[in-house]
Structure 1
């Protein structure tokens, strides 16, 4: 049916717009899922539904927060891996005691980050349930 419609489109409509009107048209076209400006304009002129792109702000906020947490966790994970490698290379008791003291600081940072992630997930879940 679409091919028949395209074959029958032999009439031209010339339309002049101001710069401001054209910018508005371009803005709405960019927010739509229409592949071509002519399709978008035709649907609007003929009062047919136009599908718009939709951004879920809650999801955007969640992704932003998870990205921040991932960035925070990466160095902690690297420090943990380095600490375990160092543990495997220790041969004397004094070295082992020093490793334990160093590891305590990394462990506290890790647990604080885990608690931050837990609280963030809880807060995001509460916001999600309220929306």
Structure 2
């Protein structure tokens, strides 16, 4: 039993005006297709097109959450490095500077957690609308 190749080898080229292309691009962005070629293939072959509704306020919240996640990750790395350094201190070393640094890191972490809680609250309220 021989299988036919599913590779797309045929190319169809068309020319569009700027207005036509802008309309096409807008409709593609409203769909769930990740690539414009997939969207065009669906349109040309009369396949169903799934449109998605995007809540811009949630998109903005997600961008902020991603930034917060990255900051929390950096804080976690710093905390891990500080604890490793603590284990290398001689028994009689002055730990005052290390403890001050840890207090500062804890304050930063606490502030970031408050920001995350606020964003999660806002996202929850947006979903309930």
- TM tier, smaller: 0.5 to 0.7
Instruction: Identify if the C-alpha distance between structure 1 residues 59 and 97 changes in structure 2 by more than 3 Å, giving closer, same or farther.
Output: same
- The partner residue of 1:40 within 43, 47, 58 is 43
What's the Cα RMSD here? 3.3
In structure 2, the partner of 1:23 is: 21
Deviations 1:84-114 (A, max 9, x none): 1111112244422331122111111111111
Alignment of 1:1-131 (within 5 A): 19=17, 22-23=20-21, 26-27=24-25, 30-31=28-29, 32=31, 35=38, 37=40, 40=43, 43=46, 50-57=48-55, 59-129=58-128, 131=129
Deviation at 1:18, TM superposition (A): 7.4
Structure 2 unaligned spans of 5+: 1-14
In structure 2, the partner of 1:10 is: none
TM-score scaled to structure 2, two decimals?
0.62
User: Between Structure 1 and Structure 2, which shows a larger proportion of helix residues?
Assistant: 1
CA distance in 1, matches of 2:106, 2:41: 60
Q: Conserved in 1, the CA contact under 8 Å of 2:75 and 2:109?
A: yes
Instruction: Identify if the C-alpha distance between structure 1 residues 41 and 25 changes in structure 2 by more than 3 Å, giving closer, same or farther.
Output: farther
In structure 1, the partner of 2:3 is: none
2:94 counterpart SS class: helix
1:126 counterpart SS class: helix
